Amino acid sequence: MTAYETVIGLEIHVQLATRTKMFCGCELVFGDPPNTHTCPVCLGMPGTLPVVNAEAIRLGLMIGAAFGGVLAERLVFHRKSYFYPDLPKGYQISQFDEPLVAGGRLGDVGLERVHVEEDAAKLTHAGASGRIGGSTSSVVDYNRGGTPLAEIVTLPEIRSAEQASSWLRLLRETLRQLGVSDVNMEEGSLRCDANISIRPVGDTELGTKTELKNMNSFRFIEQGINAEVARQTALVEAGERVQQETLHFDPRTGSITSLRSKEGSHDYRYFPEPDMPPVAVPDELLQSALAAVPELPLERAERFRTELGLHEESARLLAFRRALGDYFEETLGAGGASADKQQVANWIGNDLVRRLEAQRKDDEAGETDTDPAQSKVSPAALAELVALVVDKKINRKAGEQVLDVLVAEGGRPQDVVEAKGLAAVGGADELRPVVQAALDANPDVVEKLRTGNMKPIGAIVGAVMKETKGRADGGEVTRITREILGL
């Protein structure tokens, strides 16, 4: 049986974080009453003229710079003609053969282009499916019409639904940290179309592609791609041909339905926008965009790994959650050169995050912030706590108790240690008699340990912990045990 390879290219529409629309001065506010942010320009009234939003261009240039693309020296807009109720002009002002950004790469996926355009209005269909097919009526909200969009088009280098979902998560976090969009998928700020084809493994020629439209969750994207790959595979294995068409995936039923035959660029009758002749990109706008690009998640993760020696998982977590990464670096700064970087990362990524998320879950008002910088645990306090544990002045269990207090009340770790009597039992001289007593009380365990079976040592550690009220260090107990028994 022939094995097939999946080939996927993505088209991602990103609503840019501007105050006004792409070609007019209407304010952008999500959730306001329908058709309250419109004007003659975005409604396509005769005689109106568009004026390009400079901030949208700057944000688009930032995206291109972040991805290492070639930035255009001039702006060229085209009319993309099609007729639909969500497009009052009968055409969309977009870019065609001269995009704002050409090429680029993010992670393991190359980019073909990034261009800017205006969004269509929002259609709502009355009916069980919420789709136009089978609906009894439709209404249109032109508030969204004219919203600045950046369309990011990848090369067909993605080979699975899982890779597509993972890459989109990287893209979303990168765009969020760039500050070019809120990338809220539920509100439609980031929407994805997937172009999908299959071909026999080893072939280099692309198969006939189909397009899944407007998927707005990572789970639906994975489900939709997998469903379409299965559909195409079944067709090809049955000797049938895949038709080039635009499809809709229904995540509730897992079904795929045809919307229309897939258009080519000639179907849209692109031609230069006559109301906006080509214009050079102002140098000050370009320099502003370049200067605004921060350290991005992949770069930060690499720095955390190579310069700070963090494990891959820790580096990625802290880099991809900007608030955690910022807090981590502030904690290192408070701890000084002697701070154990991996231990600080562990305490933030595991212990502190878990407690803050639990605190938010218990907060019925939902006002608790999971950003550690907004918590009662200051970077200096966490640095002090980690140092106490690393230096074995308290054991880890006691450190967790201290952290519980800090999360709830704030304060200094050393004060909590003293108030609760959590200081570790002193050096070996103080701990040795306690270990000896535990060995004397458990001769059967000692006999097993002498044979080289170290599993029962937990009983000795437990006895010592009970005697010291949890203040002993388990590793030190094990070391002293080996020393006494000559193991």
pLDDT at residue 448, as a whole number: 80
Same-domain check for residues 187 and 126? yes
Same-domain check for residues 312 and 243? no
pLDDT tens, residue order, the chain (487 aa): 688 999 999 999 999 999 999 999 999 998 899 999 999 999 999 999 999 999 999 999 999 999 999 999 999 999 999 888 889 999 999 999 999 999 999 999 999 999 999 999 998 887 655 566 567 788 999 999 999 999 999 999 999 999 999 999 999 999 999 999 999 998 889 999 999 999 999 898 999 999 998 788 899 999 999 999 999 999 999 999 999 999 988 888 888 888 776 566 677 788 999 999 999 999 999 999 999 999 999 999 999 999 999 999 999 999 999 999 999 999 999 999 899 999 999 999 999 999 999 887 766 545 456 789 999 999 999 999 999 999 888 888 889 999 999 999 999 999 999 898 888 766 656 677 878 888 888 888 777 888 788 888 888 888 878 777 777 777 778 888 887 877 7
Q: Which of 251, 271, 291 is the last residue of a domain?
A: 291
pLDDT at residue 129, as a whole number: 58
Same-domain check for residues 152 and 280? yes
pLDDT at residue 433, as a whole number: 81
Same-domain check for residues 250 and 353? no
pLDDT at residue 363, as a whole number: 61
Same-domain check for residues 177 and 138? yes
Same-domain check for residues 75 and 213? yes
Bridge partners of residue 122, in order along the sequence: 141
Assigned token pair, 86? 């969500």
pLDDT at residue 30, as a whole number: 87
Whole-angstrom Cα distance, residue 221 to residue 1? 28
Is 417:398 a contact under the CB 8 Å cutoff? Answer: yes
Q: Which of 263, 291, 319 is the last residue of a domain?
A: 291
pLDDT at residue 131, as a whole number: 62
Same-domain check for residues 475 and 460? yes
pLDDT at residue 472, as a whole number: 77
- What predicted TM-score, i.e. pTM, was given to this entire model? 0.84
Which structural domain, as residue segments, surrounds residue 26?
Answer: 4-291
Q: Which of 229, 258, 291 is the last residue of a domain?
A: 291
Cα radius of gyration (the chain): 30
pLDDT at residue 311, as a whole number: 96
CATH number assigned to the domain comprising residue 435: 1.10.10
Is 353:306 a contact under the CB 8 Å cutoff? Answer: no
Residue among 358, 349, 360 nearest 382 (CA) = 349
Same-domain check for residues 301 and 287? no
pLDDT at residue 365, as a whole number: 44
Number of separate domains in the chain = 3
Same-domain check for residues 117 and 219? yes
Same-domain check for residues 373 and 412? yes
Same-domain check for residues 307 and 451? no
Assigned token pair, 140? 């249109």
pLDDT at residue 213, as a whole number: 87
Same-domain check for residues 150 and 131? yes
